[in-house]
Amino acid sequence: MSLQGKARLGVLGSGKGSNFVAIAEACRRGLLDAEVAVVLSDVPEAGILERAAERGIPARYLEPGRFRTRLDEEAEQRYVAALQEAGVDWVVLAGFMRILKGTFLRAFPLQVVNIHPSLLPSFPGLEAWKQALDYGVKVTGVTVHLVDQGIDTGPIVLQEPVRVHEDDTPASLHARIQEVEHRIYPEALQLLVHGRIRVEGRRTRRVD
């Protein structure tokens, strides 16, 4: 925590950064007692880096290393060093499209949070809204969870359903999912930074 008692967040993203914007806005409006200390991306031209720079938040591209779907060992060390230098209390994945493994997760035990565009454990992995449409489910949703060694498997903090419409396209469904994401990600982070989520094995419990 910083001197003002605000949690320091390190946000990682690979895409346009709409969840980052929702989180930064919630901080600015006093709805989330935190500040974004740094934004890191594995994609040099990612919109999230521009959105952060516009807000005067330190933001940079960090090389992800030689793999396509995860950070390699040295890259994990680079990311951890940058986050520790920025003094972050929580690592917030906001559309970060790479798997994090041992070195990274050991540095931030139960302090890495992710948002996923489905009701896990349904449709882990990529383009979960498209998987939901292709499967034909009538309800999908959004999950905020803590990150463990698996892919989209960690303890669930919050979930909210989103109805699938008969005329939905991947874009229209993802847009409605994102509206929910932008609301519940700051809510989940507010609970976490205030220590109001207790983790008991796979399950989490809200404490007052």
Catalytic residues: 116
d(CA 58, CA 10): 10
Q: Which residue has the tokens 């699938």?
A: 164
Q: Does 17 bind ligand GAR (CB under 6 A)?
A: yes
Smallest gap from residue 84 Cβ to ligand GAR (A): 24
Q: What is the smallest separation between the CB atom of 63 and ligand GAR, expressed in angstroms?
A: 20
Can residue 154 be called a binding residue for ligand GAR (CB under 6 A)? no
Closest CB to ligand GAR belongs to which residue? 95
Span from 9-17, 52-60, 80-88, 197-205 in contact with ligand GAR (CB under 6 A): 9-17
- The three-class DSSP label of residue 30 is coil
Interface with ligand GAR (CB under 6 A), residue total: 15
Whether a cis peptide bond, with omega within 30° of 0, leads into 121 is yes
Contact between 6 and ligand GAR per CB under 6 A: no
Contact 112, 145 (CB under 8 A): no
**Sole window of 8-16, 55-63, 153-161, 192-200 interacting with ligand GAR (rule: CB under 6 A):** 8-16
**Contact pattern for ligand GAR over residues 97 through 136, marking x by CB under 6 A:** ------------------xxx----------x--------
Q: Does 58 bind ligand GAR (CB under 6 A)?
A: no
For residues 137 and 122, is the Cβ–Cβ distance under 8 A? Answer: yes
Instruction: Write the CB contacts of 3 (distance below 8 Å, at least 6 apart in sequence).
Output: none
Q: Is 141 left (phi over 0), alpha (psi -120 to 50) or beta?
A: left
Are 140 and 129 contacting, i.e. CB atoms less than 8 angstroms apart? yes
Residues forming the site for ligand GAR (CB under 6 A): 13, 15-19, 48, 94-95, 115-117, 128, 178, 181
